Chain A
Amino acid sequence: MKQFIQDLAETNRYQATNLLRILREVQARFHYIPEEAIEQIAGLLNISRTQIISVVDFYSFFHSTPRGQYELLISDSITDHMLGKQSIIDYLSDKLNVAVGEVREDGVVSLDNTSCTGMCDQGPAGLVNGYALTRLDRPRIDQITDLINQQKPLDQWPAELFLVEDNIRRPTLLLDQPIQPGAALKALFERGGSETLAEITQSGLRGRGGAGYHTAWKWHLCYEGPEEDAFCDIDAQKQQQRYIVCNADEGEPGTFKDRVLLNSYAHQVFEGMTLCAGIIGAQQGFLYLRGEYLHLCDKLQSVLEERRQAGLLGNNILKEGLNFDIEICLGAGAYICGEESALIESLEGKMGIPRNRPPYPVTQGYLGKPTVVNNVETFMAAASIAINGGDWFASVGTEKSKGTKILSICGDCSRPGIYEYPFGTSIQTVLNDCGASDVLGIQIGGPSGTFISNHEFDRKLAFEDLATGGSFIVFNKSRNILDIVNNFTHFFAHESCGFCTPCRVGTALLKKQLDKIIGGHGSAGDVVVLEELCQLVKSYSHCGLGQTAANPILTTLERYPDLYQSRLKEISYEPGFDLDGALETARRMANRNDAGAHLAQIEANEHE
């Protein structure tokens, strides 16, 4: 192990910013991060032991105790549940003879749940040692069990187990006309930087990751950098180190369009990043790829290499004097790392805890330098705009939302997959296209977005009405709204980074209070308490995660208040846990069973 880590540190140039990279390798090799490894890495990178331990604890894919040689994780997204996840994991647990959350005694295999893996159109899905498994069913599980019991190396497993489909169903403006590699950069050099930025301004392009900030403004602000730099001379400003980050963390359950874009339009995404670098003067870019998309990594590396060979990346791009390269950084299982400032922390090799904003990344981002963070789709659209012009893009969409939006549609519909629509399209149109009938409601924008009921299908996709980062989950009338809300609420409690109390404690309380009501233990005041808690978590949380964590409850409570009320008992109060059960251990140890050794759940005079 000593030599392994020594070599690892050396290939990573002893840089603390590469800590995640190093820990990923250690985890992959030893199936956990041993204490000795932590000591050694601390010495080699010259950082403290506790800093490494905090990082190991923070990310779901790092473990301080051994996992199986085959680490199986099953996606816990609502969409996987709708496709039969529970029976799949039970069957797996039975076949492999290992409980969920445990390592089998022989250490060969471990099994656990994980947050949405972004395979919602081809679930139930999972990961084995980080590699995506799709369409899990009993025959596949039988096959996987045999492979594991024979201890076959992953590279000898049949490829079809790892087959990930694109399922592009409705390509239009962007998806129908992928650019030729290099075309956007040629357009940039012909037209000039500020003229190209003007085209992007003209296009009205807004960020596709959710918040919808104007892309051209962001790029311009990053070019300007911190205020104090505005006074230095032009040459000094040109020397300023700037960074470009492509946010491919795609952790919002129900979102999987960035996976498809990176699989089939990677050149265009990288070209969009290079374009941005050319306009604002950056030398280094990063693609922050969620750990769940490990299967894309090699392919993306070879696209980068192709681009270097073709003179589209590296030194003196297209002989126009632009120097820019892109590095891929893999995440390690943390939804919060999609938040741009947490992402930057993670890129720096730290825990993904959101920073105070302002200062925004455009002035103080990676290593404190001006940084542009954009979504995958944003960079892709920018590359097309550089070629086709701002008007081409702006002619599509609505007043405040120009162009198209790429949706990942899943749930109860016959044709789940990727759909591209002009902004302004009605929800009903989308439902007709994807083959959804008997619809109860739709979750738009993922758990942090909105649940809309079947009376609202004339609403429109647009920043003015229903904004979404791409997640579009259809539920038919056989689904239970409270199950959906419960799944989402547990998701947020699991993914809260723990930095601020309103979210860390609040999401846990929301989960508990909701469990109490759904479990039928709620009484008169419990829905009011739930709503007050929601408002508290929403108003006092530090970042977007906490501020939206109550949305599943709030948006459904607003639409279906009776649903919640009907679960309540007509008594003033009932404990949310089994009172008599809580005495069981003491009763057994004291060997008692008299009347005084029991407690009624509700007081005698408190009957329904």
Chain B
Amino acid sequence: MANKIRVATTSLAGCFGCHMSFLDIDERMLQLAEAVEFGRSPINDIEHCTDCDIGLIEGGVCNSENVHVLREFRKNCKILVAVGACAINGGVPALRNYIPLEECLSEAYLDGIGVENPQIPSDPELPLLLDKVRPIHEVVKIDYFLPGCPPSADVFWKFLTDLIDGREPSLPYELVHYD
């Protein structure tokens, strides 16, 4: 096939659980690979996102680097997808939103138990933390949302095959029903 659909993925403030769940499509990965090739992704260690059709984002936005990566994806992907609770709502990392950032940093680097040589890391190479962890749709425009923590392998499969086959993606109730 000449023109394969290009997919890129990344994890921002997430736990990689969503990526693991994606890999759970197991042998269907081979089938997928016939229609799809991967751009930037932790699966292949390509470092920058260049022209792609679909970008899958796991995790919310917790620091300035996340913002840059997210913008790079937005610029280069035709369709950008929020994958999982963290990307959609901030999820587990956003639990820190209830604690002022000042207190978080002090606890971790200055006066927490067992802290030696207390100091706030300060290096231009290090990204700075945002005061709150944000869902990704608050920073760039998002086209689709895949709910779940993580979304199941079947959700990934259904969503991607719909897109690949040129259908408007839709997830049946059984796939997004959690209780």
* A binding-site residues for B, Cβ under 8 Å: 523, 525, 572-573, 575-577, 579, 582-587, 589-592, 594, 596-597, 599, 603, 605
Find out whether the CB atom of A586 lies under 8 angstroms from the CB atom of B121.
no
Segment at the interface with A among B10-18, B46-54, B134-142, B169-177: B134-142
Q: Once the chains are docked, how many angstroms separate the CA of A576 from the CA of B141?
A: 11
Determine if B102 is an interface residue (Cβ-Cβ < 8 Å). yes
- The smallest beta-carbon distance between B87 and chain A, in angstroms, is 15
Q: Beyond A586-B105, A596-B64: 7 further Cβ-contacts under 8 Å?
A: A523-B141, A577-B134, A583-B129, A586-B128, A589-B102, A592-B124, A592-B128
Determine if B67 is an interface residue (Cβ-Cβ < 8 Å). yes
Q: B20-51, CB under 8 A of A: which get 1 and which 0? A: 00000000000000000000000000000000
Q: Give the residue of B101, B121, B126 whose beta carbon is less than 8 angstroms from that of A585.
A: B101
Among residues of A, the one whose C-beta sits closest to the C-beta of B139 is A575
Q: Offer 12 A-B interface pairs, CB within 8 angstroms, sorted by A.
A: A577-B138, A583-B128, A584-B131, A585-B105, A586-B105, A586-B128, A586-B129, A587-B128, A589-B120, A592-B124, A594-B124, A605-B75
Residues of chain A within 8 A of B126, CB atoms compared: 590
Residues of chain A within 8 A of B158, CB atoms compared: none
Q: B102-113, CB under 8 A of A: which get 1 and which 0? A: 100100000000
Find out whether the CB atom of B132 lies under 8 angstroms from the CB atom of A582.
yes
Residues of chain A within 8 A of B138, CB atoms compared: 575-577
Residues of chain A within 8 A of B75, CB atoms compared: 603, 605
- The smallest beta-carbon distance between B111 and chain A, in angstroms, is 13
Q: Once the chains are docked, how many angstroms separate the CA of A341 from the CA of B120?
A: 55
Residues of chain A within 8 A of B100, CB atoms compared: 585
Determine if B130 is an interface residue (Cβ-Cβ < 8 Å). yes
Q: Once the chains are docked, how many angstroms separate the CA of A594 from the CA of B67?
A: 17
* B binding-site residues for A, Cβ under 8 Å: 64, 67, 71, 74-75, 100-102, 105, 120-122, 124, 126-132, 134, 138-141
| A573 touching B124 in the complex, CB below 8 Å, given contacts A582-B131, A586-B101 | no
* A585, A586, A590, A597: most-surrounded residue (chain B CB, <10 A): A586
Q: Once the chains are docked, how many angstroms separate the CA of A585 from the CA of B127?
A: 13
- The smallest beta-carbon distance between B127 and chain A, in angstroms, is 8
Q: Once the chains are docked, how many angstroms separate the CA of A44 from the CA of B74?
A: 61
- The smallest beta-carbon distance between A268 and chain B, in angstroms, is 52
Residues of chain B within 8 A of A572, CB atoms compared: 141
Find out whether the CB atom of A589 lies under 8 angstroms from the CB atom of B105.
yes
Q: Give the residue of A577, A584, A590 whose beta carbon is less than 8 angstroms from that of B121.
A: A590
Residues of chain B within 8 A of A583, CB atoms compared: 64, 128-131
Find out whether the CB atom of A579 lies under 8 angstroms from the CB atom of B67.
yes
Residues of chain B within 8 A of A591, CB atoms compared: 120, 122
Q: Once the chains are docked, how many angstroms separate the CA of A592 from the CA of B134?
A: 22
Residues of chain A within 8 A of B130, CB atoms compared: 579, 582-583, 586
Among residues of A, the one whose C-beta sits closest to the C-beta of B128 is A586
Among residues of B, the one whose C-beta sits closest to the C-beta of A576 is B138
Residues of chain B within 8 A of A589, CB atoms compared: 102, 105, 120
Residues of chain A within 8 A of B105, CB atoms compared: 585-586, 589
- The smallest beta-carbon distance between A178 and chain B, in angstroms, is 56
Q: Once the chains are docked, how many angstroms separate the CA of A582 from the CA of B128?
A: 10
Q: Once the chains are docked, how many angstroms separate the CA of A525 from the CA of B75?
A: 17
Residues of chain B within 8 A of A599, CB atoms compared: 64, 67
- The smallest beta-carbon distance between A498 and chain B, in angstroms, is 17
Residues of chain A within 8 A of B134, CB atoms compared: 577, 582
Among residues of B, the one whose C-beta sits closest to the C-beta of A523 is B141
Find out whether the CB atom of A573 lies under 8 angstroms from the CB atom of B102.
no
Q: Once the chains are docked, how many angstroms separate the CA of A576 from the CA of B136?
A: 12
Among residues of B, the one whose C-beta sits closest to the C-beta of A577 is B138
| A585 touching B131 in the complex, CB below 8 Å, given contacts A590-B122, A591-B122, A603-B71 | yes
Find out whether the CB atom of B128 lies under 8 angstroms from the CB atom of A590.
yes
Q: Once the chains are docked, how many angstroms separate the CA of A589 from the CA of B121?
A: 9
Q: Once the chains are docked, how many angstroms separate the CA of A261 from the CA of B127?
A: 64
Residues of chain A within 8 A of B102, CB atoms compared: 585, 589
Residues of chain A within 8 A of B131, CB atoms compared: 582-586
Q: List the 4 closest A-B pairs by CB distance, nearest first.
A: A586-B128, A573-B141, A590-B122, A582-B130
Residues of chain B within 8 A of A587, CB atoms compared: 128
Residues of chain B within 8 A of A603, CB atoms compared: 71, 75
Q: Once the chains are docked, how many angstroms separate the CA of A598 from the CA of B64?
A: 8
Residues of chain A within 8 A of B71, CB atoms compared: 603
Q: Once the chains are docked, how many angstroms separate the CA of A306 from the CA of B129?
A: 68
Residues of chain B within 8 A of A596, CB atoms compared: 64, 124, 127
Residues of chain B within 8 A of A597, CB atoms compared: 64, 124, 128
- The smallest beta-carbon distance between A201 and chain B, in angstroms, is 46
